[in-house]
Amino acid sequence: MRINLGCQLQFSFPQETPMVAVLNVHYSHFGDLERPDFMVSSPSVPLESYRDGFGNWCTRLIAPSGDFELKTDGIFLDKGEPDPIAPGAMQFDVQHLPADTLVYLLGSRYCETDLLSEEAWHLFENTAPGWARVQAICDFVHGHVTFGYEHARATRTAFETMTERRGVCRDYTHLAIALCRCLNIPARYCTGYLSDIGEQGPDPPGDFAAWMEVYLSGRWWVFDPRNNTRRIGRILVARGRDAADVPLTQTFGKNTLVNFSVWANEVQENEGGMTLRVHGPN
């Protein structure tokens, strides 16, 4: 399956402003790009790429004053299969976890394990450790939180999501991550494209999505508390402890985001050439 993916962000800057963008497909999937999603800017400015401490591709630049645009557009080769499932995947005792997973047991900016630990054990102590426990957490979060773009708030934490019972996909993810960590399950935050391939319409407005990965049976597994289903066409851009580690853009000065669009469209061939079947990320 071929997926045309990309994004377009339009800003207005009152003056020259340093900026970091994390908008390219994760390096671990670079080999799956038939056409790389290279970043371009308008007007054109020098772009400097580097890999951060979590392995994400980042781009440094200085945005000029006035109108400024960043855009990516590529073709991704996807297997067309849903997220893997392994009901028998086991949870490791903390003393047996690899050292590089331990950071994903700690509290972080949006995932306050200290405030949620008692409630996490109250809710899930009697669930079977491993896959079943993580799925129980996702089931709880999916049913506990009401989704709505009007509920978006950049400062909302996992504890606030628990008490307010509303949010967007990043809030669902932060709450599920925090509950997993409280129960000694390493969990990390992911952001990227999530197409609607295989889903019934209508398609929601295009946006990047958030989900989590948990460490069970010696590897990381995808879980999506917002949608709570196995999905086709999930393409990773960045991962970290929580959303604070993977902002799509970080600007070091005042700016206005004028327009924002994201696409992840299935490419189909017909007799006249290439066509696109549109599926917007959610």
- Long-range contacts of 162-168, Cβ-Cβ distance < 8 Å, separation of 24 or more: 162/116, 162/119, 168/226
**Encoded amino acid at 239, one letter:** R
Cβ neighbours of residue 49 under 8 Å, at least 6 residues apart?
Answer: 57, 58, 59, 60
pLDDT in tens, 66-121: 999 999 999 999 999 999 999 999 999 999 999 999 999 999 999 999 999 999 99
Instruction: Report the CATH fold assignment for 94-244.
Output: C8orf32 fold (3.10.620)
Q: Which CATH architecture fits 2-80+247-277?
A: Sandwich (2.60)
Residue 278 reports pLDDT greater than 70: no
Q: Are 38 and 72 spatial neighbours (Cβ–Cβ below 8 Å)?
A: yes
Q: Are 189 and 212 spatial neighbours (Cβ–Cβ below 8 Å)?
A: yes
pLDDT in tens, 122-167: 999 999 999 999 999 999 999 999 999 999 999 999 999 999 999 9
Q: What is the dihedral of CA 42, 239, 49, 40, to 10 degrees?
A: -20
Determine whether 96 is exposed, middle or buried from the number of CB atoms within 10 Å of its CB (0-12, 13-18, 19+).
exposed
| Structure-block tokens of residue 151 | 């509920």
Extract the runs of DSSP E, i.e. beta strands, from 132-218: 146-147, 166-167, 187-194, 209-216
Residue 282 reports pLDDT greater than 50: no
| Cis peptide bond N-terminal to 129, omega within 30 | no
Task: Indicate the domain borders of the chain.
Answer: 2-80+247-277, 94-244
- pLDDT at 276 (0 to 100): 56
Q: Are 16 and 280 spatial neighbours (Cβ–Cβ below 8 Å)?
A: no
Domains 2-80+247-277 and 94-244 share a fold: no
Find tokens 């069970």 and name the residue. Answer: 216
Phi, psi angle pair for 139, to nearest 5°: -60, -45
| Structure-block tokens of residue 70 | 């960043």
pLDDT in tens, 186-245: 999 999 999 988 887 655 566 899 999 999 999 999 999 999 999 999 999 999 999 999
pLDDT class for 274, splitting at 50, 70, 90?
low
Alpha-carbon torsion (119, 122, 123, 127), positive or negative? positive
Determine whether 153 is exposed, middle or buried from the number of CB atoms within 10 Å of its CB (0-12, 13-18, 19+).
middle
Q: Which of 174, 128, 170, 136 is nearest to 152 (CA)?
A: 170
Distance between CA atoms of 176 and 104, rounded to whole angstroms?
Answer: 13
This prediction has a pTM of 0.93
Residue 279 reports pLDDT greater than 90: no
| Cis peptide bond N-terminal to 202, omega within 30 | yes
| Residue 154: Cβ within 10 Å count | 8
Phi, psi angle pair for 144, to nearest 5°: -80, -30
- pLDDT at 198 (0 to 100): 85
- pLDDT at 207 (0 to 100): 82
Q: Which one-letter DSSP state was computed for residue 173?
A: H
